[in-house]
Amino acid sequence: MFYSWESFYVILGSAAAGLIGLLFVVVTLTGGSRDRSRTLRAVSIYMTPTVVNFALVLSTSAVAVAPFRTPMMTELVLGIGGLVALANASWACVAMRNPTPGAEPPHWTDFWLYGLTPLAICLALVISDIALWATAGWAATAIALLMLGLLLLGIRNAWDLVTWMAPQRGADAS
C-alpha cells in the first residue's frame, strides 16, 4: 500500500515534526506580549488548526513507514486523523465567520487558507481513506498528494502566523 512511499513519508513527517517544534518556539518567544483573551482566541482559530494539520501529516507519515503496520491500522489512523482535522477545520470556519465583538475582523484570506482549504483537503483525505479501505489503486497516491498539500498549506499558514505575531511584540509591549 505505502511500500514504495517510505522515503517520501520520512521527509514529510520530519518536516511536519520540525515545523511543530518551531511553532512552539515562536509562541514561547512572543508569549506575554499580547492581551491574553485576544491571544487565546487567535490561538484556537489559527494556531491550533495549523498544529493539528502538521500533526496529521506527522501521524500519517509515521503509520506509512511503521514496520508493524497493518492495512486496518493504517486506515483507522488515517480515518480518525482525517475526521479530527475535518472537525477542527469546520470549527475554524465557523469561528472566523462569527468574530468576537470588538475584535479586529480576520483578513479575507484567513477563511480560505485556515478554514476552507484545510476542510477540503481533510474531506478528500477521508474519501481517499475510504477508497484505500476499498483497495482503490489511486488512493495511496491521493493520500500522499493530500499530505504534501496539507504540509505546504501549513508552512504558508505558519509563516502568516509568525509575521502577524512578530511585528506586534514591540508595539503591544509599549
Domain residue spans of the chain? 3-169
Alpha carbon distance 69, 21 (integer Å) = 26
User: pTM to 2 decimals?
Assistant: 0.86
**Grid cell 488515517 — which residue?**
78
CA distance 163 to 109: 15
Phi-psi region of 69 (alpha: psi -120 to 50; beta: other; left: phi over 0): beta
Determine contact, residues 143/128, Cβ cutoff 8 Å.
Answer: yes
Q: Which of 4-18, 44-58, 97-111 has the highest mean pLDDT?
A: 4-18
In this predicted model, what pLDDT tens digit does every residue of 51-103 receive, in sequence order? Answer: 999 999 999 999 999 888 788 888 999 999 999 999 999 998 888 887 766 66
Residue 8 grid cell = 517520501
The SS3 of residue 14 is helix
**pLDDT tens digits along 120-173:** 999 999 999 999 999 999 999 999 999 999 999 999 999 988 887 765 544 544
- The pLDDT assigned to 32 comes to 60
